[in-house]
Structure 1
């Protein structure tokens, strides 16, 4: 039997012989265990140290295998990760969308497994580069998955598993790609340490341990927040809840609107009686008014009633009809007391969710599942960043899944946003999905040095400080109003300034590694 620890003795002065590929009876369960370890790193579990463990396990399973075998093992890891991670997608739509989405995401880890196998001869020749190569390949895989197809689906990025890790603070330097790189680098160092441990000498083991210590120390040392701004405003999140969870939440649209109006009226009563601080701004979630308040006088009147009572602007999540027949927009609109909707301060969601808010290739998709016809009107994407100006602050608004996309959030900050706002509707999902989304808000707050909040129809809502800490988190499937002070930020972090460039450089480096691996592969055949 050939295993990771069975290396042939090296001649004096020569580098140790690289480990042989693990037997399949070991590699297959190890690949599955890698996916489960990665899963446990994400909310609702949040065992963040298991993310590097999962990276190490997948790298060990695929190392020195044939490319096809590496792809198959990577696919097993992907299924073990994504099938349970995305289980919230099948709660109300049946199993088919969940299965298709999980398999499509697992395919990207199949590419990662194939790439890891492909570069094995190169890492055998340059063993010290193994951890860095592992990290580069992870960043490359995520960069591809975040963008393809139909704009990509960034759920399950390693960076989003590190909410309580020292590595989260690296987001202030290079955003999510740098956090993913560091997390995967830690996994590569773990694997290298394991391999070196079978030849226990001080020279063999000290540097992987030192690398892990340095990585965590640097993470802890990175400053968070930005200079400038500093003024505080009081913000209220209104989580109105829905009568019942599920896809038919929009059939209850009047009740959902009434819930948010009534909760805001109650807040106004408590402010008047001195039980609560008067907010400077009230934030309602996505879909808080699925009745177009710009075209339905009754809906508009109810929102005006709430804004007038509380005496401050309300950021409303609304579905607006148009601009063309059969088209709708998912929008955030500022509703001012006394004057009503401020259509100059209106953000239209720029990245509608494919197969949920619009159906690409509808005729073909219908042949796969008639469920696509639940989406009766395609949402039209907006074209401008969500920079909304109130009397007291400039808001950076993104809607629901948009918080997962680096550029959509960054555009609001470079456009002048002093606070980050995420309006979302989790009524069709569950608490796990909401917690996973909150983890993304935490990373964005650190990345851009901004106070942030997430306002959900059903939870989880809450406030996030620039060091990633969550305050005032609400329960799931309940009504709540949370009021907190938020600090305005005007400066820019390194990550905000450099934008996409860290990811570009890491992806280019990954491409060079893949190209460079072709040379040693021509010189020898990798067993598998």
Structure 2
């Protein structure tokens, strides 16, 4: 590999690769830079020790996550932002260490193609673990979520977000091989072509069994920041007024949807808040889904989606099942207070819901289900899949509803990053998505991932669309996390191969005791 073998060059490649990944996400929207990023990181990690692989992974992760997650520190300061970015980067560091450990024996026996294919395999597994552990994980900034405007997004219908990540990383493999082997990687090139061309033949729906006229109310807030709802009554009033304006312009609505935190005054316990919701319900004349904070179960509170029907009665509810650690509750508070007093900004913890919901809406073409998820829940594969399958069991066509509040992230890319995730979910589950925020961006996503124009940040708006309603399950819904399991099996095979040949003490059929030139360089440079 020549000059690339030098550690400073490898570090530079890893950093630039991480920055390329950042550029692939909204608001830069240079989606294909993800291929370049994976390729550069794969080249940097080629034929290194586990220790150096971990270092390179950490640098690549920081290059990606520090700028991509910058929105997390807008109002809470640098420490929480850096803590989150470093934590996410540690998963990439672990990936680098494992990649080095299982890749190097393959290279010693002259198998560069299997060694290179470990890059996409481990990338999928890294994202899987990162989105699972600890505290349920944080699956933000996955490669798949940068690909909503590319053909790769269509793979979501077959294998969800993990298959998109696998396909993008697979396209990077021939780029890695052509640099490190300086020979045409024909087999890898064929796989990359298949991953790209195959996306075009994946069927994605554009129509359904029915449609519904749905209105979204983006009420806006008095101010951005952590105290966005300091004037809770004003925020509720904004959404009531928005509903009245919506009703004045449209008399054919089937459903109105408010965002998360649209009523932070508990409308089940506060008579004034209940009266305001009733005012909106009477103006709309159709069911309204309200995002509310409920003062239950004491001493905790609940982040809920309430489904109100005209005519009164107790609203149906969905309670958020995945509250965000350190934002909606603080695990092990005493321990984390040692690092930052900011944990005490979360004074009351949010309880976890224990079930999905599918609200039955009497639409003009017959009943349909509105399936609510709240805020960051849209990023969790298993939760979304479970909700869709439960709704499908009811037998009605359905609409996915994503209620969110982006006021705490200011004028950043967090809103557009989240909207891109909703677009991937639409393709993955073959459903339209109604995505509504207190402050934007809000809009409608069609089952093929295409979208209506979105609203602007920190404005009041009431978009309306005739949304497609569909039933049925995609291959992704039916097969579940098969991509992760397949990649896990691939890694186990590589580990087994390594252990077998390590036990024989041979490399290339002969005992090997001297370090390679690359190892000598690394040892001299890093002490690895």
How far did 1:387 drift? 2.0
Secondary structure in structure 2 of the residue aligned to 1:332? strand
SS at 2:217 equivalent:
strand
Matched, 1:90 2:73: yes
Match among 232, 249, 260 for residue 239 of structure 2: 260
Equivalent pair of 2:174/2:185 in contact (CA under 8 Å): no
Alignment match of 1:336 (pick from 299, 309, 313):
309
Query: Which residue of structure 2 lines up, in the alignment, with residue 178 of structure 1?
Result: 163
- TM superposition shift of 1:191: 1.2
Residues 346-425 of structure 1 mapped to structure 2, 5 A cutoff: 346-392=317-363, 393-416=368-391, 418-425=398-405
How far the C-alpha of 1:146 sits from its partner, in A, is: 0.7
The whole-number CA distance in structure 1 between the counterparts of 2:112 and 2:206 is: 39
Native 8 Å contact 2:43 2:179 kept in 1? no
CA distance in 1, matches of 2:178, 2:357: 46
| Cα deviation code 1:309-368 (max 9, x no counterpart) | 110011000000112x221000001112221542xx210000000011011011112222
Q: Distance in 1 between matches of 2:401 and 2:318?
A: 12
Deviations 1:371-404 (A, max 9, x none): 1111111100000013222223201211000000
Provide the residue aligned with 1:269 in structure 2: 248
- Asked if 1:505 is matched to 2:486, the reply is yes
Q: Secondary structure in 2 aligned to 1:368?
A: coil
In the alignment, is residue 2 of structure 1 matched against residue 9 of structure 2? no
**Residue 131 of structure 1: how far off its partner (Å):** 3.9
Contact 1:193 1:209 in 2 (8 A): no
Cα offset, 1:129, TM superposition: 1.9
Alignment of structure 1 residues 58-137 onto 2, 5 Å: 58-124=41-107, 125-137=110-122
Deviation at 1:226, TM superposition (A): 8.6
Structure 2: how far apart are the matches of 1:34 and 1:518?
A: 31
1:57 to 34, 40, 50: 40
2:424 is matched with: 443
Q: Is the 8 A contact 1:422 1:454 kept in 2?
A: yes
The two structures have a TM-score, normalised by structure 2, of 0.91
Task: Name the SS for the 1:391 alignment partner.
Answer: strand
1:211 aligns with 2:191: yes
From the superposition, tell whether residues 123 and 479 of structure 1 become closer, same or farther in structure 2 (CA, over 3 Å). Answer: farther
SS of match in other structure, 2:133: coil
1:148 aligns with 2:133: yes
- C-alpha distance in structure 1 between counterparts of 2:111 and 2:356, whole Å: 45
Unaligned runs of at least 5 residues, structure 1: 5-21, 272-276
- The answer for the alignment partner of 2:451 in structure 1 is 470
Distance 1:454 1:209, change over 3 A: same
Q: Tell me how far apart the structure 1 counterparts of residues 409 and 313 of structure 2 sit (CA, whole Å).
A: 32
Aligned to 1:308: 282
Q: Give the conservation status (yes or no) of the 8 Å contact 1:226–1:492.
A: no
In structure 2, distance between residues paired with 1:314 and 1:341? 13
* Partner residue in 1 for 2:26: 43
What is the CA distance between 1:466 and its match in structure 2?
1.5
Alignment check: 8 A CA contact 1:293 1:318 kept: yes
Contact 1:225 1:493 in 2 (8 A): no
3-state secondary structure, aligned to 2:359: strand
Contact 1:159 / 1:180 at 8 angstroms: preserved in 2? yes
Query: Any idea what SS the aligned residue of 1:390 has?
Result: strand
Asked if 1:452 corresponds to 2:433, the answer is: yes
Taking the aligned partners of 2:168 and 2:387, their CA distance within structure 1 comes to: 27
User: How far off its partner does 1:2 sit?
Assistant: 2.5
CA distance in 2, matches of 1:506, 1:117: 16
Moved more, 305-314 or 109-118: 109-118
Distance 1:512 1:206 in 2: 23
RMSD over aligned CA atoms reads 1.7
Cα distance between partner residues in 2 of 1:371 and 1:497: 42
Return the alpha-carbon distance in structure 2 between the equivalents of residues 42 and 223 of structure 1.
25
C-alpha contact 2:204 2:430 (8 A) present in aligned 1: yes
| Alpha-carbon distance between aligned partners in 1 of 2:418 and 2:380, rounded to the nearest angstrom | 12
Structure 1 residues 515, 95: CA separation in 2 closer, same or farther (over 3 Å shift)? farther
Q: Unaligned stretches of 5+ in structure 2?
A: 393-397, 507-511, 523-528
Provide the C-alpha distance between the structure 2 equivalents of 1:386 and 1:315, rounded to a whole number of angstroms.
12
Give the distance between the partners of 1:299 and 1:155, measured in 2 at CA.
34
Secondary structure (helix, strand or coil) at the match of 2:447 reads coil
> Taking structure 1 as reference, are residues 340 and 456 closer, same or farther at Cα in structure 2, changes over 3 Å only?
farther
Aligned mates of 1:355, 1:254 — CA distance in 2: 26
1:45 CA displacement: 0.9
CA contact (8 A) 2:221 2:229 kept: no
Which residue among 464, 482, 489 is the counterpart of 1:483?
A: 464
What is the deviation of 1:411?
1.2
Q: Deviations over 1:16-74 (max 9, x none)?
A: xxxxxx21121111110010011111111111111111111111111111110110011
Q: 1:135 & 1:82 partners in 2: Cα distance?
A: 19
Kept in 2, the 8 Å contact 1:226–1:450? The answer is no
2-structure distance, mates of 1:346, 1:435:
27
